[in-house]
Amino acid sequence: MKAMAAKPTTAGTPANDDIGEAKRLALYRSQIRLREAEQRAFDLFLQNLVKGTSHLSLGQEAVAAGFAEAMQKGDLSFCTYRGHAHTLARGVSVEKVLGELMQKDNGLMRGKGGSMHLTSEDHGVMGSYAIIGAHLPIACGAAWRAQYRGDKDVSVCFFGDGTTNIGAFHEALNFAAVWKLPVVFVCENNLYMEYTPIGDVTAVPSPAGDRAAAYGLPKIVIDGNDADVVYREAQKAFAKARAGEGPSLIECLTYRHSGHSRADPAKYRPEGELERWKERDPIKIYRERLKQFGVSEQVMAEIDADVRREVDAATEACKAAPMPPTDILFTDVYADGGWAWRN
């Protein structure tokens, strides 16, 4: 299959260099937290407590964690509907995210946005966008503001492999390159656009990487299941952006363990594919990494337990939280806080 042409590397490969103990533990904690929170979201969906749609990043945690850990306060994330992990990774509480998924008043947007539109500007999460490709130009605009004002923040825009076939992707890449904007485009190539293998609908084997040259950018395709690799690549791209040297386009090879959305049993996958990728589960890789660096099982277990406590407490808080009051239906359509379109 064309999409598999770029082979993921084998499990447990140590990163080229040592990112340091503190960062390593932070990356581990972040990935565990994303995994636990999203697994919980799935369980709550099975209990009919998570409503609407939801798109999980189970299996793709290394991308979200790796980029978020490389970001500084003030850097901006632009996410897709598959944005829970990126939102959590910037430090938004599990309760706020689960609350939104459960349509409770304690949710991040009090039920007005839903799973696909997680936004927490205080954390630099500038929205999750559900129209494929829409947020690439928007990230350009935020980067333009930074360039114009001399601000040092970077705008980071996450999207899938399927998104490389929509016009807005190409408009944004050219625009960012011509204007030399401090924006980093991150393609999470999980091998599928919804239900169709990306290779079936794309003219080149690397959907993002092979397009980079058209915009004067180097081809960067990395192992998106190794958080250290992701973290290092993110640092490089951010340094380039902050130095005024323009955008980067990074393709991260990864795989989603669950279906596209909660409605999808993912029957279209060839036999054995999921199992092969589970061998390369980012969390499995990272546990082995920690072991290689001498981190004890006990330290990992403590982190696991700590994360579990946050997720359990969030679950209980969300179950107990009230539904949003109906008067918020009519707030914040316009900047005056209301919805009046006439006098």
Partner 1 sequence: MAEISYRDAVARGIAQEMARDKDVVFLGEDVAKAGGCFKATVGLYEQFGPLRVRDTPISEQAILGAAMGAAMTGLKPIAEIMFSDFIAVCFDYIANEFPKSRYMSNGQTKCPLVVRTGNGAGSRFGAQHSQSVENWCMMIPGLKVVAPSSPRDVIGLLAAAVRDPDPVIFFEHKSLYPIKGEVPDGEIVDTLGTAKILRPGTDCTILALALMVPRALEAAERLKAEHGIDAEVVDVRSLVPLDTQTILGSVGRTHRLFTVEENPRLCGWGAEIVSIVADEAFYDLDGPPVRITTPHIPLPAADHLEDMVLPTADRIVETVRRSLNS
- Which residues form the interface with partner 1 (CB under 8 A)? 76, 108-110, 112-114, 117, 119-121, 126-127, 129, 131, 133-146, 148-149, 155, 167-168, 171-172, 174-175, 178-179, 328, 331-337, 339-343
Among partner 1, ligand TPP, Mg ion, none, what binds residue 260 when CB lies within 5 to 8 Å by partner kind? ligand TPP
Of 159-167, 217-225, 285-293, 308-316, the window that binds Mg ion (rule: CB under 5 A) is 159-167
Judged by CB under 6 A, the chain residues 124 through 183 that form the site for ligand TPP are 130-132, 159-163
Collect all residues with Cβ–Cβ distance below 8 Å to 186 and sequence separation of at least 6.
Answer: 63, 67, 156, 157, 158, 159, 250, 252
Q: Least distance in Å: CB of 228 to Mg ion?
A: 23
Return the number of the residue (186 or 311) whose C-beta is nearest ligand TPP.
Answer: 186
Least Cβ distance, residue 211 to ligand TPP (angstroms): 13
Closer Cβ to partner 1, 41 or 142, answer by number = 142
Please identify, using beta-carbon distances, which residue of 132 and 234 lies nearer to partner 1.
132
Identify residues 295-334 at the interface with ligand TPP (CB under 6 A): none
DSSP-assigned letters across all residues of 271-315: TTHHHHHHHT-HHHHHHHHHHHTT--HHHHHHHHHHHHHHHHHHH
Dihedral angle of Cα 265, 270, 169, 137, to the nearest 10 degrees: 30
265 vs 259: CA distance, rounded Å? 5
Exposure on the CB side of residue 326, measured as CA atoms within 13 A: 0
Question: Tokens 């598959």, residue?
Answer: 82
Among ligand TPP, Mg ion, partner 1, none, residue 18 binds (CB under 5-8 Å by kind): none
Q: Kindly tell me which of 76 and 191 has the beta carbon lying closer to Mg ion.
A: 191
User: Binding string to ligand TPP for residues 7 to 46, with x set by CB under 6 A, is what?
Assistant: ----------------------------------------
For Mg ion, give the closer residue by CB, 38 or 161: 161
The interface region with Mg ion, picked from 99-107, 161-169, 287-295, 328-336 by CB under 5 A, is 161-169
List 123, 260, 280, 289, residue binding ligand TPP (CB under 6 A): 260
Q: Are 255 and 190 in contact (CB under 8 A)?
A: yes
CA-CA-CA-CA dihedral for 301, 305, 308, 313, to nearest 10: -170
Q: Which residues contact 245 (CB under 8 A, 6 or more apart)?
A: 180
Q: Answer yes or no whether residue 160 interacts with Mg ion by CB under 5 A.
A: yes
Task: Please give, one letter per residue, the 3-state secondary structure of 53-117.
Answer: CCCCCCCCHHHHHHHHHHCCCCCEEEEECCCHHHHHHCCCCHHHHHHHHCCCCCCCCCCCCCHHH
Contact assessment for residue 107 and residue 96, using Cβ atoms and an 8 Å cutoff = yes
Shortest distance, CB of residue 190 to Mg ion, whole angstroms?
A: 4
CA 258 to chain CA mean position, Å: 15
Q: 9 vs 147, which CB is nearer to partner 1? A: 147
Q: Which of 167, 170, 204, 162 is nearest to 187 (CA)?
A: 162
Within positions 62 to 121, which residues make up the interface with ligand TPP, using CB under 6 A? 82
CA separation for the pair 137, 174 (Å, rounded): 10
Angle of helix 297-320 versus helix 94-101 axis, rounded to 10: 40
Binding mask 179-198 for Mg ion (x = CB under 5 A): -----------x-x------
In 3D, which of 208, 216, 212, 156 has the Cα closest to residue 180? Answer: 216
**Binding-site member from 54, 103, 155, 190 for ligand TPP (CB under 6 A):** 190
Binding site for ligand TPP (CB under 6 A): 82, 130-132, 159-163, 188, 190, 192-194, 260
Binding stretches for Mg ion (CB under 5 A): 160-162, 190, 192
